[in-house]
Amino acid sequence: MEIYKKSITELSDLLNKKTISSVEMTNYFLERIKTHDSKLNSFITINDRFALKKAAEADKKISNNEHHLLTGIPIAHKDLFSTKNILTTCGSKMLKNYKPPFDATVVKKLDDIGMVNIGKTNMDEFAMGSSNESSYFGVVKNPWNLDKVPGGSSGGSAAAVAACLSPVATGSDTGGSIRQPASFCGLTGLKPTYSSVSRYGMIAYASSLDQGGPIGKSAEDCAILYNEINGYDPNDSTSNHEQKIEKIKLNFTKENASKIRIGIPLEYFSKNLDQSISDEIFKSIDVFKKLGFKIKEISLPNHNFTIPAYYIIASAEASSNLSRYDGVKFGYRCKDPKNLEELYFKTRKEGFGKEVKKRVMIGAYALSSGYYDEYYIRALKIRRIIRDSFLAAFKDVDFIFAPTSPTTAFNIGEKTSNAVDMYLSDIYTTPVNLAGLPALSIPVGYSNNLPVGLQIIGNYFSESGILNIAHFYQKNTEWHLKVPKEFDNE
């Protein structure tokens, strides 16, 4: 039946027709994890016991006709979403034994409609990274080529979905962590408008940038999940309560396409970008033209300042957010400290990895008196300029197409000793977070047998347009249906 390849709608159909029960479906994916994950390391926790219980409940709901499209469908959550009584490590030794007393809003919403949480996925420690090499639980491998990274920080979620160990997964995106791994693994990943998805229960990295969202095989799967996880949450003080978000319907036609103007920012196709990626993206742009979209060149100036501004702001917020890990409240505590100061010092020295310590130090430095104006305030000014240049572009076009990443998946270890090179992998994704805009990455081709991603960026709350454009493209192409050879078997 090739269940592993199926979309959410197809899986739901099988459940409805009782071709398969949710318990059987859950067991099927758990078996796939058991068979394949030793090659990938995409899961930190496999949730078999809870999952099968939840699946049995879902089967009851389905029998009683009290179900939702997502009832009984397995999902994996990035290990920074708090899950009640289930280990939530954030990829860190600091939280290696932490079982939260509550569920994150995203988890709760999906749980309430009967989705089955099959496990928690590996990630860069505290979501800091672009390659999933900074996890305390080890490196994750890319299912398309096991010598390559899956991208980060939601690398475990992306590898798990690409290898069809879970039909869909959640991720979080502070500077690209949903889109870049989706691009490296040939998947579709949505970073929603800042504030549209609750951050309650998502372990914080940089609160003004963090946003949760779905990673799936297609725009359709992402739309189905996004419809359920967005919405106002009184537990998140930055949650959107002004804009009403309608349920997205994917019903785009050629007629709609002909009314849409797409901008191609020339600055994003400079020498930083691999030629082969540029070629694949322009081939896909030709397909979009044939589908009726109006394409035009635009300019997005100042984007070269993005990386320094992003790393100052993200690190500043991280240094503040991570001050809560002190060995007192929860998480790791060092052994036998002589006094309170030593408790803080040793706990943080032993509990955090190298990348996290680096960010905390950069952030504390940028916020310290004397440097605050020079670094932090300047970075905020750049943030405003970047946002303004997007908004100026949206006066002229409806959506923007850009590469997701300047390269395809790189070798494991290739960039670990060169931080600047690693940070540059986010050059096309971080501007979107600084501006708080929504963006989606979709697979549009291959370079050296590795997937290439195209980013569709829209104005605030334009997820419906973004997902419709992507869905229309995916109805006419097959890139999103490809499965890496090694995992393409029942």
- By CB under 6 A, name the binding residues for ligand GLN: 127-130, 153, 173-177, 205, 314, 426
78 given a catalytic annotation: yes
Q: Which two tokens stand for residue 150?
A: 């899956």
Please state the closest distance from residue 192 (CB atom) to ligand GLN, in A. 13
Q: How far is the CB of 177 from ligand GLN (least distance, A)?
A: 3
Q: And the tokens for 450?
A: 């590795």
Backbone angles phi, psi at 229, to 5 degrees: -95, -15
Tokens of 16: 């409805």
Nearer to ligand GLN among residue 205 and residue 288 (C-beta): 205
Min CB(178)–ligand GLN separation in Å:
7
E-assigned strand segments in 31-173: 43-46, 74-78, 116-121, 169-172
Per the residue annotation, which of 177, 183, 405, 464 is the catalytic one? Answer: 177
Give the contacts of 391 (CB within 8 A, at least 6 positions apart). 435, 459
> Out of 78, 108, 109, 217, which one is annotated catalytic?
78
CA dist 36 and 282 (Å) reads 35
Least distance from ligand GLN to the Cβ atom of residue 205, Å: 6
296 neighbors 260 (Cβ within 8 angstroms):
no
Q: Torsion angle, CA of 85/87/90/93, rounded to 10 degrees? A: 130
Among residues 79 and 220, whose Cβ is nearest to ligand GLN?
A: 79
Contacts of 189 (CB under 8 A, 6+ apart): 154, 158, 171, 173, 178, 179, 181, 182, 183, 213, 214, 215, 216, 222, 440, 441
- CB of residue 175 to ligand GLN, shortest distance in Å: 3
Min separation Cβ 213 and ligand GLN, Å: 11
Nearer to ligand GLN, 175 or 484 (CB): 175
Q: Please, what is the minimum distance in Å from the beta carbon of residue 476 to ligand GLN?
A: 30
480 neighbors 472 (Cβ within 8 angstroms) = no
Tokens of 148: 């390559």
For residue 129, the one-letter residue type is: G
Residues counted in the chain: 490
- Alpha-carbon distance 14 to 391, whole Å? 44
Instruction: Count CB atoms within 10 A of the CB of residue 206.
Output: 24
Measured from the CB atom, is 153 or 408 closer to ligand GLN?
153
Q: What distance separates the 2 farthest-apart alpha carbons in the chain?
A: 72
In this complex, which beta carbon is closest to ligand GLN, that of residue 100 or of residue 175? 175
Cis amide leading into 153 (omega within 30): yes
- Told to judge if 153 belongs to the known catalytic residues of this protein, a careful annotator would answer yes
Alpha-helical (H) ranges within 22-154 are 22-40, 48-63, 105-112
Is residue 157 annotated as part of the catalytic site, yes or no? Answer: no
Give kind and range of the element (H or E) at residue 191.
strand 188-191
Instruction: Measure CA of the first residue to CA of the last residue in the chain; give whole Å.
Output: 8
> Would you say 42 or 153 has its CB closer to ligand GLN?
153
Q: State the catalytic residue, choosing from 7, 82, 153, 284.
A: 153
Closest separation in Å from C-beta 220 to ligand GLN: 24
Indicate left, alpha or beta for 302 from its phi (over 0: left) and psi (-120 to 50: alpha).
Answer: left
Nearer to ligand GLN, 3 or 182 (CB): 182
Of 141, 124, 224, which is closest to residue 178 (Cα–Cα)?
A: 124
**Nearest CB to ligand GLN, comparing residues 54 and 191:** 191
Q: Is the separation of the CB atoms in 43 and 120 below 8 Å? A: yes
Rounded Cα distance between 362 and 311, Å, is 9
Minimum CB distance to ligand GLN smaller for 175 or for 403: 175
Q: Min. distance of Cβ 187 from ligand GLN in angstroms?
A: 16
Query: CA 196 to CA 229: how far, in whole Å?
Result: 9
Catalytic residues: 78, 153, 177
